[in-house]
Amino acid sequence: MTEGEPPLDTPESKVYMKRFSPTGVAIIGLVMAIVSGQSQTSQQPPAQRVRPDFEEALPVYINGVVVLEDGRPVPGVRVELLIGGTVLRQEFTGSDGSFIFDISTSSPSPFADASASTSPPVENSNGTGRTGASGPSVSRSMNRIEGIGWEVRAISPGYVSDKFTSRSRGAVTVVLHPLAHVKATTISLNSLKAPKKAVERYASARKALQKKNPDQKKAIAELEKALAEFPDYSEAWQTMGEIRLSQKDNAGARTAFEKALATDAQYLLPYLSLASLDVDESRWAEAADMSSKLIELNPYVTHGHFLNAVANFSLGRYDLVERSIEEVQKQDEKRYPFTHYLLGAMAADRGDLNKAAKEFQAYLDEQPNSPYTERVKQTLDQWREQGIAAAAKKH
């Protein structure tokens, strides 16, 4: 199962049934939508490299800060550490924009901040990686690593970051540069104006949520204090919405997300959260409208195009679905195999069963163990038996 398809038995998933009967064959099209926070919160820990005993006791760090071009530190941005082109570890910047990788341990550092936990799945990697014999050699100096082929980069939709390699020494400063045609990003510029006391309250809330057993009650209390200090704290409203959503309080979550959007119209995450919530509640017109606004503000958000495709499919706007799917497949096709299912369903609805069979088969090739596998196989078998989709061949 991929990030584009949550399990059917989770309350976070929504299935919309659409029936049509080309050439007398009944087909059931299942449209699965992904809600806020589903995309990149699941992550397998990287495999641990076997180290000599003296290395186990030796802290080895790569640390730095992520800033904008004007020097302002950026909290909640994902930073990746790559070895030989493979992502070894990922962390999130703290409230002061800082990050630290402790590569002498097999788990993320306690300094990581999960502020970007609801970012859309538009990144270049899946956050997992492995180390092996070609991994970095370890230096005995603190805050420094002598390595072969390591790289540090920041990931934020709408920005491109500087990259630092093994030639870099000491703490690094990663600068985010805005891409063209981007009017909204996962960085809330308005939240960067928050006073120190509000920032401290927000950081305390994030820390409470990062515990092994997240303390949502304390987090909410800290967020309320942060918002009392700075009512326009967009990131605080967004985090409040995420907590409410996890508590199944959709109404409370929607109110918080709307506040986050109202206080910073160039902040990407509330658009994504509201569009996902609309899809989850089968508010197809609202989902199509919100995801369209998101795409207009930032065309690099793959998940926004996917939500737009789902909503417009449910509204029967196939031309818009095809346009959105084209963008999804161009940006990150492998993470959204469900787009092949949507294309197959539309082709079948139009009576082009050969094209439908081709797309359904592509879906099965990429998702052989999905919840819909048997149903799709049965449909293809029926078409083959009746000779109405001769182009679809079993692999």
pLDDT digits (tens, 9 = 90+) for 324-368: 999 999 888 788 999 999 999 999 999 999 999 999 999 999 989
Structure-derived torsion over alpha carbons of residues 323, 325, 330, 331, reported in degrees to the nearest 10: 110
Give the span between the Cα atoms of 354 and 383, in whole angstroms: 9
Residue 315 in tokens:
């509204």
pLDDT digits (tens, 9 = 90+) for 169-178: 567 888 888 7
pLDDT digits (tens, 9 = 90+) for 197-242: 999 999 999 899 988 899 999 999 999 999 999 999 999 999 999 9
Amino acid at 312: N
Q: How confident is the model at residue 95 (pLDDT cuts 50, 70, 90)?
A: confident
Whole-number average pLDDT of the chain: 74
Q: Measured on CA atoms in the order 257, 258, 259, 263, is the torsion positive or negative?
A: positive
Helix (H, G, I), strand (E, B) or coil at 164: strand
Higher per-residue confidence, 106 vs 115: 106
The CA radius of gyration of the chain, in Å to the nearest whole number, is: 23
DSSP secondary structure code for residue 185 in this structure: B
Per-position DSSP letters for 65-98, written without gaps between them:
EEEETTS-B-TT-EEEEEETTEEEEEEE--TTSE
Give the span between the Cα atoms of 3 and 38, in whole angstroms: 7
| Choice among 116-120, 179-183, 283-287, 298-302 with the minimum mean pLDDT | 116-120
Which residue shows structure tokens 């400063």? Answer: 173
Phi, psi of 319 (to 5 degrees): -65, -40
93: Cβ–Cβ under 8 A, 6 or more apart, which residues?
Answer: 65, 66, 73, 74, 75, 76, 77, 79, 99, 113, 115, 154
Residue 354 in tokens:
């050969």
What's the CA angle centered on 325, arms 322 and 331, to 5 degrees? 145
Q: Which CATH superfamily is domain 53-178 in?
A: Immunoglobulins (2.60.40.10)
Determine the pLDDT at residue 301.
Answer: 87
Report the b/e string of 310-330 with b at 16+ CB within 10 A: bbbbbeebbebbbebbebbbe
| Ranges of each domain in the chain | 1-33+267-395, 53-178
Whether the predicted pLDDT of 6 surpasses 70: no
Determine the pLDDT at residue 286.
Answer: 98
| Predicted structure pTM score | 0.62
Q: How confident is the model at residue 104 (pLDDT cuts 50, 70, 90)?
A: low
Determine the pLDDT at residue 233.
Answer: 96
Residue 181 in tokens:
């045609």
Query: Looking at domain 1-33+267-395, which of 2.130.10.30, 3.40.50.720, 1.25.40.10, 3.40.50.620 is its CATH number?
Result: 1.25.40.10
